[in-house]
Amino acid sequence: GYRADSWKKMLIPYRSPTKAYFDTSDKDPFCMYNYLLDITTWNKSIRRGFIKVKIIDSAGNTVESQTNSEASTFQQYKRVKILTGFHQDIEKIAKISLTFSTKNLIGPKHKLRILQMKLKSLNNPKR
């Protein structure tokens, strides 16, 4: 991530399109804690949809991620990285829950089988 006041000098040297997120820190009104969800799936069929992440600490405090506006494509044994944002920070995560949705009301329900998952704090990379 890049601090919003210094993004130009960090990104302009890249001549090709670059994806970036901006660290809005812990100050309101734009408070957002960013995590990178890195998952590998093992479904035989391609799945396309949205992942919602819920993190819980040992005291039972729960925070749910904001839904991305862009659907991800999940293929067998392919890694997918998804940027997730939370309005609150949980310092010591005890449990992670994922919900997969295609946002289709009609048709069969599909499961997304996870082979491997990593959740990394981008605001606090040492976690």
Q: How do residues 86-109 score in pLDDT, each as one tens digit?
A: 888 888 999 999 988 887 777 667
Which residue carries 């820190």 as its tokens?
25
87 is written with which tokens? 């309005």
- What tokens were used for 76? 């067998």
Tell me how far apart the alpha carbons of residues 63 and 87 are, in angstroms, rounded to a whole number.
8
Q: What is the pTM of this model?
A: 0.71
- Please give the biggest Cα pair distance in the chain: 48
Single-letter code of the amino acid located at 40: T
Q: Are 36 and 124 in contact (CB under 8 A)?
A: no
Higher pLDDT among residues 66 and 35, named by residue? 35
Q: Where do the structural domains in the chain lie, given as residue ranges? A: 33-121
- Is the model more confident about 32 or about 17? 32
Helices marked H in the chain: 7-11
* Architecture per CATH, 33-121: Sandwich (2.60)
Tell me how far apart the alpha carbons of residues 112 and 98 are, in angstroms, rounded to a whole number: 10
